[in-house]
């Protein structure tokens, strides 16, 4: 079984975000997974196909996640989630 961190790292690799490009943080609260990134659109994929794919992978690895939410860090000052 993979951890949430490992699964999101695989997801990040699939969409081609290098470690030098940005740091991605994750936070799980109950059945909600927050992904903090400058590139939410890349994680979402075309019509949400990547979100659906990785939600399934998370479930297959024993992680109960009903909602994946993105915190966009691209612009702005302070974000609350």
Indicate which CATH number applies to the domain containing 33: 3.30.300.20
pLDDT at 52: 96
- Taking only the tens place, the pLDDT of each residue in 11-39 is 999 999 998 999 999 999 999 999 999 99
- Taking only the tens place, the pLDDT of each residue in 37-81 is 999 999 999 999 999 999 999 999 999 999 999 999 887 778 787
Residue 80 inside a domain? The answer is no
pTM: 0.91
Total domains in the fold of the chain = 1
Residue 51 inside a domain? The answer is yes
3-state secondary structure of 54: helix
Residue 30 inside a domain? The answer is yes
Residue 42: domain span: 4-72
3-state SS, 6-41, equals HHHHHHHHHCCCCCCCCCCEEEEECCEEEEEECCHH
pLDDT at 24: 95
pLDDT at 46: 96
Residue 14 inside a domain? The answer is yes
Residue 81 inside a domain? The answer is no
């Amino acid at each position: 079984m993979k951890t949430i961190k490992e699964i999101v790292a695989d997801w990040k690799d699939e969409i081609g975000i290098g470690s030098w490009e940005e740091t991605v943080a994750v936070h799980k609260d109950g059945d909600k997974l927050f992904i903090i990134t400058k590139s939410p659109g890349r994680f979402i994929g075309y019509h949400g196909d990547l979100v659906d794919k990785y939600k399934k992978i998370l479930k297959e690895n024993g992680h109960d996640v009903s909602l994946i939410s993105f915190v966009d860090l691209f612009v702005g000052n302070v974000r609350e989630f």
